[in-house]
Amino acid sequence: MQEQCAACHGPEKQKGKLQLIPLAKAFPADRRDRWSIIPGDPEASTVIQRVTLPPDHYDIMPPKGDVLTGEQVDLLRRWISEGAPHAGATASVPSEARAAEPSPVSSPQARIDIDPADLEAGLQAIRGRGGVIAPRHVGSSWYELTVSFARPPWTDGDLALLEPLRPVLWSLDLGNSGVTDAGMPLVAGCSQLRELKLDRTRVGSRGVESCAGLVHLETLNLHSTAVNDAALPSIRDLPALQAVYLWDTGVSKQAAEGLRTNRPGLHVECGVTAVEFESGSDRG
């Protein structure tokens, strides 16, 4: 989508009033009826409908240039089938707040002596292992890494590849990978992280405890993991945290309530029930 859709549905232009980049913008909380991506239902998603039209159809997306390859469409379908995981919380953060992106150089915690050759080698190694890594936006010195689609899935051993990226990694998506608690100290070494997704992994409360040093972390996705109430003190103490996703975990309702009371500004998402989800995705 960054390559094929961003020019018209990105931060600069929103053709058809649709913004897809950054991804969270595709899910405005107050306009569920207008979502063009229906989590879990690719065929009901207008994004899929529009990219699978016959190439000469008037409504095909993108309207000019190459149509999406079968592989790209499959990837989109798979992501939507898996619930279209995205940093949903960032959608509700006012744009002024997000505009205040520090540069790695001005950030006191960042090591500024990152050698461009080391960085390039690090990026290549990650790509060679199926990771999708790119700057946050054109010209940004910060990087976003997704390994959810790597096959075979990443395991704790692969996390050593993060080493050279530590000072510049902004967002790390380990969702649906084979990482466990044992790998979390390596993740915690990426001290600049703002977003961390561990959903659908075997990570548990001990792994979350290891992440205590992530003092800039704003979004933590733990849905469908092994975490339970024991993780909540560590979550509570993450100083910059704005949103945590805990559905389909061992965290009890009472403990989640307690966290909300302790950290009033924190968005604690314990999931929508099946009924809410159904009615939310009814486009009437």
Q: Does residue 16 bind ligand HEC (CB under 6 A)?
A: yes
Which among 47-55, 118-126, 194-202, 219-227 is the span making contact with ligand HEC, rule CB under 6 A?
Answer: 47-55
Contact status: 59 vs ligand HEC (CB under 6 A): yes
Of 109, 231, 217, nearest to 172 by C-alpha is: 217
Question: 51 or 220: whose CB is closer to ligand HEC?
Answer: 51
Which of the ranges 46-54, 135-143, 161-169, 272-280 carries the binding residues for ligand HEC, by CB under 6 A? 46-54
Those residues with Cβ within 8 angstroms of residue 46's Cβ, 6 or more apart along the chain or in another chain: 36
Please report how close the Cβ of residue 195 comes to ligand HEC at its closest, in angstroms: 23
Residue 19 touches ligand HEC, criterion: CB under 6 A: no
Burial 184-198 (b: 16+ CB within 10 A, else e): bebbbbbbbbbbbbb
Closer residue to ligand HEC, CB minimum distance, 8 or 232: 8
Pick the binder of ligand HEC from 26, 38, 47, 174 (CB under 6 A): 47
227-230 long-range contacts (CB < 8 A, ≥24 apart) are: 227/203, 227/251, 228/204, 228/252, 229/205, 229/255, 230/205, 230/206
- 78-82 — which CB contacts under 8 Å span 24+ positions? 78/149, 80/37, 80/38, 80/39, 80/40, 80/41, 80/42, 80/45, 80/47, 80/48, 81/40, 81/42, 82/176
Only one of the segments 10-18, 154-162, 202-210, 243-251 lies at the binding site for ligand HEC (rule: CB under 6 A); that segment is: 10-18
Based on the shown chain and the rule CB under 6 A, indicate whether residue 157 belongs to the binding site for ligand HEC: no
Quick note: the x/- pattern for ligand HEC over 68-107, rule CB under 6 A, is x---------------------------------------
Q: Judged by CB under 6 A, does residue 61 bind ligand HEC?
A: yes
Give the shortest CB-60-to-ligand HEC separation in angstroms.
Answer: 9
Contacts of 42 (CB under 8 A, 6+ apart): 48, 76, 77, 80, 81
> Could you say whether residue 123 binds ligand HEC (CB under 6 A)?
no
Choice between 63 and 157, CB closer to ligand HEC? 63
Please identify which residue in 62, 153, 185, 189 interacts with ligand HEC, judged by CB under 6 A.
62
Ordered strands of the 243-245 beta sheet:
132-135, 143-146, 169-173, 195-197, 219-221, 243-245, 267-269
Phi, psi torsion values for 146, nearest 5 degrees: -125, 130
CB of 65 to ligand HEC, least distance (A): 7
Using CB under 6 A as the criterion, which residues of the chain lie in contact with ligand HEC when the complex forms? 1, 4-5, 7-9, 15-16, 18, 36, 46-47, 50-51, 59, 61-64, 68
